[in-house]
Every structure is written in C-alpha cells, then in structure tokens.
C-alpha cells in the first residue's frame, strides 16, 4: 500500500483472486471503521465464438468480472452499514446478447443479478445497491479487445467501428465517456438518490432504450 496523500491510499492487487480481495479488505478495514461508498469497477472484455471458449477462458472471465465483485463486497461487509452505497459497474451487455460475446454477456448478466439480489438483502441495513450499465466506453483495454479475432472491429478497424456504431445505434449521435460514469456514480452516492436501489441503469446515449 502506498500513500497518495494523508487521506488517500493506493493498493495494488489482482482482484481475480478471492484471497487478494480479502487481503485488500483487511487493509481497508485497518484504516477505517465505516465505508461510505464501494464502487465495484474491474473487469475485461474479450469476444470469442463458442467453439473457441475453453475452461481457462471461462474461469478467468468469471473470476474477474463476477467473483471479484462478490469477494470485495464480502470482505467489506463489516464496515458497510446504514447510509453505505454499493455501485456495481456493469454493461448493457448484461441486458442483451451480442455476437461472439456470450461469456462477457453472461458475466454482466450475473453482475445485474447480484445488484438486484443485494438490494433486497442489504436494504434492511440501510445500504443501497445499484448498477450502471454503460455502452462502449473507449479505453485502451476495450480498443485492444475490439480488434482481436471474433471481435466486431477485427475487419474494419476501431475508428470505423466506433463511428458506425455511434451513427447507427446512438439516439444522441454520441457515445458516453468515462467522466459520465464518474458523474453518475457520484449522483447515485448522493442523498438525492436516496430512493434508488436495486436498479441496473443504462448509460448509453439511447443505444438500448428501456
């Protein structure tokens, strides 16, 4: 653990391992006795057709995209209480399937299921739980995943794919950016959102209206 200031800390860990999540939880619990906001935001995208999926791929995707949310929340439950907020970063892939993307979609459907179940489980303790479901947020990791074999930008390139997707799918003729997720996470953590829990809310510029 390294200190970024007198009140901020950086902890390096591989959250695809349950024991690492528990270790991080122990460090956090040694520093504070109440956690106001937990944002579960870790994962990776990778497209594969079903014929190319093996046990290692399946397990690694589920370990990072799903089990890490469970293990971190489990580790921090002792310091979550009345007024605490849990926000799970999910995806619109957790609401609809897409070509060659079955395991990623399954992992995000699972995150949405966790969100809805935890809202019922933790609500009596005064803890709110929601999920944000973004559409494609361009990042280094997503860009690398989109141009791999079986991925939608493999044959046309990332720039054309993102432009075509924006122009054909977005109601607003633009796609969200990372700051939009940060801003919405802040809102869900505020008193203004006190009656919102158990929701998996699209942040997608109208790509998937519901």
Domain limits, the chain = 34-203
As beta bridge partners, residue 132 has 89, 201
Q: Can you give the pLDDT at residue 199? A: 98
Options 3.40.50.720, 3.40.50.300, 3.40.50.11720, 2.40.70.10; CATH of 34-203: 3.40.50.720
Crossing angle (nearest 10°) for helices 68-76 and 18-31: 30
Residue at token pair 């293990």: 71
Residue 171: phi and psi, rounded to 5, are -70, -25
Q: Report how far residue 186's alpha carbon sits from residue 181's, in angstroms, rounded to the nearest whole number.
A: 9
Asked whether residue 119 carries a pLDDT value surpassing 90, the answer given is yes
Q: Is the pLDDT of residue 8 over 60?
A: yes
Q: What is the mean pLDDT of residues 106-131?
A: 98
| 73-84 per-position pLDDT tens digit | 999 999 999 999
Instruction: With a cut of 70, say whether residue 206 has pLDDT above it.
Output: yes
- Cα 10-2-74 angle, rounded to 5 deg: 45
Alpha helices in the chain (DSSP H): 18-31, 55-62, 68-76, 102-122, 140-146, 158-169, 178-188
Two tokens, residue 118 = 């935890």
Q: Report pLDDT for 138.
A: 83
Angle between the N-to-C axes of helices 68-76 and 102-122, in degrees from 0 to 180, rounded to the nearest 10:
20
Question: 9 in helix, strand or coil?
Answer: strand
Tokens 């609401």 correspond to 95
pTM of the shown model? 0.92
The string of pLDDT tens digits covering residues 143-192 is 888 889 888 888 898 999 899 999 999 999 999 999 999 999 999 999 99
- For residue 88, count other CB atoms closer than 10 A to its CB: 23
- For 11, list phi and psi in degrees, rounded to 5: -120, 125
Residue with tokens 């009656």: 195
3-state secondary structure of 155: coil
């Amino acid at each position: 653990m390294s200190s970024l200031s007198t009140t901020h800390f950086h902890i390096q860990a591989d959250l695809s391992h349950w024991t690492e999540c528990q270790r991080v939880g122990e460090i956090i619990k040694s520093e504070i006795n109440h956690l106001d906001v937990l944002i579960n935001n870790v994962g990776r995208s990778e497209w594969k057709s079903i014929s190319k999926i093996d046990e290692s791929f399946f397990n690694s995707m589920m370990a990072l995209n799903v089990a890490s949310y469970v293990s971190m929340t489990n580790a921090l439950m002792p310091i979550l209480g009345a007024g605490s907020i849990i926000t799970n970063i999910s995806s619109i892939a957790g609401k609809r399937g897409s070509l060659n993307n079955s395991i990623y979609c399954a992992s995000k459907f699972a995150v949405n299921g966790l969100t809805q179940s935890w809202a019922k489980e933790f609500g009596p303790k005064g803890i709110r739980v929601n999920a944000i479901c973004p559409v494609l947020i361009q990042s280094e990791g997503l860009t690398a995943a989109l141009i791999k074999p079986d991925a939608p930008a493999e044959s046309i390139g990332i720039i054309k794919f993102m432009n075509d997707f924006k122009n054909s799918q977005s109601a607003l003729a633009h796609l969200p950016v990372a700051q939009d997720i940060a801003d919405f996470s802040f809102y869900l953590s505020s008193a203004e959102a006190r009656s919102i829990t158990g929701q998996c809310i699209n942040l997608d510029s109208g790509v998937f209206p519901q």
